[in-house]
Amino acid sequence: MSDLVEGAPAPAFEMPASGGRTVSLAGYAGKPFVLYFYPKADTPGCTTEACAFQEALPALAATGLDVIGVSPDPMKPIEKFAAKYNLTFPLASDAEKTTAAAYGTWVEKSMYGRKYMGMERSTFLIDAQGRIAKIWRQIKIPGHAAAVLAAAKAL
């Protein structure tokens, strides 16, 4: 678990992203954005979450916000996922899990009594100064994009 708190500087990152893009904290200097972590491309929960953010994109953009999705998947499945669901925002590959570790989203999980490391579904709202404005951990997907939008409007 990370010791990141709201108001703290966002950890720096740089990752390859869908559409041949590269996303980095420095690249968003002076601009607020949403950084969300999801376990695996093209799985039911992650698809629902990504499509909800895609749907909310115009409203988020109206508040000046961009969205970046991050998973530990390699670029090939991420590109396929983005194309399949027409996801226009960048989906980044954190194959080394360095960004996930910095944000405290690469965590020990447990299923059927078996412990393993995995991505915790989390969202971070980063303000224009590069500080963490809001953190959502272990999120529930229904209504999440709307909660992010409400917080974005309050920035």
Task: Identify whether 5 is part of a domain.
Answer: no
Residue 23 has, within 13 A of its CA and on its CB side, a CA count of: 20
Nearest-5° Cα angle at 139, 17 to 92? 5
Average pLDDT, the chain: 95
User: What is the pLDDT, as a whole number, of residue 42?
Assistant: 94
Task: Identify whether 37 is part of a domain.
Answer: yes
Task: Identify whether 1 is part of a domain.
Answer: no
User: What is the pLDDT, as a whole number, of residue 61?
Assistant: 93
pLDDT of 126 over the 60 cut: yes
Report, as residue numbers or ranges, the catalytic residues: 46
Name the domain count of the chain.
Answer: 1
What value does the mean pLDDT take over residues 42-63? Answer: 95
CA gap 145, 123 in Å, rounded: 10
Confidence of residue 149 (pLDDT cuts 50, 70, 90): very high
Task: Identify whether 8 is part of a domain.
Answer: no
User: What is the pLDDT, as a whole number, of residue 32?
Assistant: 95
Q: What is the pLDDT of residues 131-147, one digit of tens each?
A: 999 999 989 899 999 99
pTM above 0.85, yes or no: yes
Task: Identify whether 39 is part of a domain.
Answer: yes
Task: Identify whether 7 is part of a domain.
Answer: no
Q: Which residues of 124-151 are buried (b: 16+ CB within 10 A; e: fewer)?
A: bbbbeebebbbbbbebebeebbeebbeb
Task: Identify whether 99 is part of a domain.
Answer: yes
Task: Find where tokens 């994109």 sit.
Answer: 57
Domain that holds residue 95: 14-153
Nearest to 50 by CA among 104, 90, 14, 15: 90
Task: Identify whether 45 is part of a domain.
Answer: yes
- Return the beta strands (E) in 72-147 as ranges: 91-93, 106-111, 114-119, 122-126, 132-136
pLDDT of 2 over the 70 cut: no
Name the percent of the chain lying above pLDDT 90: 93
CATH of the domain at 78: 3.40.30.10
